Amino acid sequence: MNGVVPLDGLTSAQVAAASPNVVPRRSSRSLAAIVRANVCTLFNLVIGVLWALILIFGEWQDSVFGLIMVANVLIGVVQELRAKRTLDRLAVVGESPVTVRRDGAERRVPPHEVVLGDLIVLGPGDTLPVDGEVLAADGLEVDESLLTGESDPVRKEPGDPLLSGSFAVAGTGVFRATAVGTAAYAARLAEEASRFHLARSELRDGVARFIRYITWLVIPIGALLTYSQLSNAADFATAITGAVAGIVTMIPEGLVLTTSIAFAVGVVRLARHRCLVQELPAIEGLARVDVLCLDKTGTLTAGGMTLDHVLPLREDRPVGDALAALAAADGHPNATARAIADRFPAARWRPRATVPFSSARKWSGADFGPHGVWLLGAPDVLLDPSSPECARAAELAATGARVLALCHTSHLPQPARTDENRPSMSGADLRTDDGATPARLTTVARADESGPITTGGCFGEAVALVVLKQRVRPDARETLDYFARQGVSVKIISGDDPRSVSAIAAGLRVPGADRAVDARTLPEDEEALGEALDAATVFGRVTPRQKRLFVTALRGRGHTVAMTGDGVNDVLALKEADLGIAMGAGSPATKAVAQVVLLDNRFAVLPHVVHEGRRVLANIERVSGLFLTKTFYAIVLSLMTGVAGMMFPFTPRHSTLVNAVTIGLPALFLALAPTLERARPGFVPRVLRFAVPAGVMCAVAVLLAFAAADGTLTERRTAAVLALFLTTWWVLVLVARPLNRWRVTLVAAMFGLFALALATPYVRELFELDPGALGDDLLAAGIALVAAAFIGIAVRLAGTLRA
């Protein structure tokens, strides 16, 4: 072949025999894993066994508590399936077709139909679905920012490797697929990050810890209670019902349900802002975060460039016409050419010959005949390094802007051509703006880096300096100001030059923006790295590996870290963070591992996430006091009745009624109420300081009322239920503080509902209540009032009440 690589591609027979580009889609956990995770829990096991016992030996009215388990499972499964379906749809939409060359012809195929050895044709904007090696290139430049975080395009020549997850931004090319499917770079990285893990949740962990401890208590206490009920009950069914009443009441099953509902409502509210929460506890995460790591590219910046201003160096030259003509002459414009074309869209000159831009040459040019030859490129290449124009360009570049020099000259410099043995594009692949082949237009396809015009010098007359800036998201400043007011430390990290990152951060008024750190100078030791991260705010030249180390080091210093990103290079850092936040336009791997996805790529949505997280945290802590009060009075009651060998003072249906009007229904309203309280650590200790004394006093009041009553078992249990309601209703009043109009209405309504239940014959019969012994009921009310006073004193001394 005389050193020339054929570009006809595979034959149909070769395609049929080759390995396809099949990558398992991991948008989240599988359906089986979702169902298993929500069904197979310790909580469900305990409640399920007790539910079965009541259904077998008791009456159906005493089995209502089992429905809470079913509701909790359904909420968790439905919410995660909803997130999974949304991500699956996003993944399908993001699969752009690929142009391959087979049997000497080009065709468009889905990414999964690409096979090993395929020739893939690239143009500006094409994503690389597989790894490969460049066979031919015409000014081909690839954006690898999703892999490396470096926003500058990388020039690719024949023989250079290409990695999946990057995309072409300029020029054209052909490459051969050398790794497909799970062997490709992006797929391997996604595989490493695909081990699903739940967002860390102090609420979820605290509730799980409560249930775990209570489960271990249930075994001995349940055995003691069961023995005492069997010894005192007239029949086995009554004994089982009494034992289950004590055990079920010990388990804060409603707390799990209320927490799930509060999270689910938060997810729905955030969905209105186009924010997808993949896990229910994830909205808690950002409310606790004290360090937010922002990847500059794709988070603070919106992608692309914007022309900031043009600084004329000569007043007698048609700068606007020249810039418009140069931008229009580029058949495959990059971000810079598009920014210039946006400002100068009307091109009136036609080129006779062009030299396309390349990152190796750092300039482009065109011969416009009677209008002369114009060059546009890096000032340090086109200008005399000792000239004042070059010095001025350096000053502008120091602000983080991208500066280009516009020069006018008499001839178009001809870069050295590549070796003839390198693979070349066919004539059909090189076109002028009007579709003609290069016969009427001299186009230099490639330039060797060793050519004569890659060093500083003066090529004609310097006419103007063109200043471009990265496009900053319009909502970035307001959002960063919000986090500053909330006491959240922001770390801006990027693969770009520290000066460029510093300039963007300074424009956004980020504290410490003027002290950007080059990440290449940072230590490897985790402790020393953590100290350096705490001392600075802006970091440039950060590698993907360092991003992960940043998160690890910050977490090692006790910080709760959130990480935002959009590229494959951010995947491992997102997974390592306490909360990963991905942009909707980011890579599929990024969206798969993140707990929160901003579907519209709007950074300004994050404050809404914070608000929802804080609402859930503060309100769930509030209602946890209600549920755990129930748990502790049940533990005390079970112990005391078991030791004393007496009947349990109420049945499961009694606890269902009291819990509904003093805990379940009001907890739903309290959990969904708006609040501006900030998140505080120490959720478990604060709740225990409230719930333990309140629960003990409730149990004492119930036992005294039950023991003091003199009547039938139903009448004695009615007195105990009355004492239980009054003491737990007072706990509700304390938890609902500070009282306002709607909270006063809530607690009054709950009191009214219980009174209505006592006054309605059908309801009395359903819940087996008999308030006929007036003396016993009044005594129970008096005992409850004394207990309520002690509860108020105890919890106030513990310092857990809100003013």
Active site residues: 295
**DSSP per-residue string spanning 79-117:** HHHHHHHHHHHHHHHT---EEEEETTEEEEE-GGG-BTT
Residue whose pair of structure tokens reads 């009541």 in the numeric block: 54
* CA 437 centroid distance within chain: 49
Six-digit token string for 376: 């546009």
CB 717 within 8 A of CB 694: no
CA 703 and chain centroid, separation? 50
- In 3-state terms, what secondary structure has residue 463? strand
Name 312's bridge partners. 464
Cβ neighbours around 757 below 10 Å, total: 19
Count of residues in the chain: 803
Looking at 379-431, list the stretches that DSSP marks H as alpha helix, in order from N- to C-terminal side. Answer: 379-382, 388-397
Element (H, E) at 196: none
Angle at 769 between CA 767 and CA 772, to 5 degrees: 160
Helices (H), 251-387: 253-271, 282-288, 319-329, 335-343, 379-382
Report how far apart the first and last C-alpha atoms of the chain are (Å, whole number). 87
Helix residue ranges per DSSP H, 486-563: 498-507, 526-535, 544-556
Say if residues 593 and 567 touch (Cβ distance below 8 Å): no
Phi (first) and psi of residue 637, to 5 degrees: -60, -45
- Angstrom distance (rounded) from CA 348 to CA 112: 44
CB 252 within 8 A of CB 630: yes
- Enumerate residues 6+ apart whose C-beta is below 8 A from 761: none
For residue 797, give both structure tokens: 């001394």
- Beta strands across the sheet bearing 291-295: 275-277, 596-598, 579-583, 561-565, 291-295, 489-493, 538-540, 517-518
Helix (H) or strand (E) holding 126: none
Place of tokens 């059908």: 762
The per-residue b/e assignment along 52-78, b for 16 or more CB within 10 angstroms, e otherwise, is ebbeebbeeebbbbbebbebbbebbbe
Question: Which residues in 619-632 are b (16+ Cβ under 10 Å) and which e?
Answer: bbbbbbbbbbbbbb
Torsion angles phi and psi, residue 112, rounded to 5: -75, -10
Q: How many CA atoms lie within 13 A of 619 on its CB side?
A: 26
> Of 148, 501, 456, whose CA–CA distance to 296 is shortest?
501
Question: CA-CA distance, 32 to 467, in Å (whole number)?
Answer: 55
Write the CB contacts of 17 (distance below 8 Å, at least 6 apart in sequence).
Answer: none
For 215, the token pair is 């489960």
Distances 571 to 549, 568, 583 between C-alpha atoms, Å: 13, 5, 12
Cα-Cα-Cα-Cα dihedral sign, residues 226, 231, 233, 237: positive
Q: Which residues, listed in sequence order, are joined to residue 366 by a DSSP beta bridge?
A: 354, 374
Q: Other CB atoms closer than 10 Å to residue 705's CB: what's the count?
A: 30
Q: What is the DSSP pairing of strand 301-312 with strand 353-358?
A: unpaired
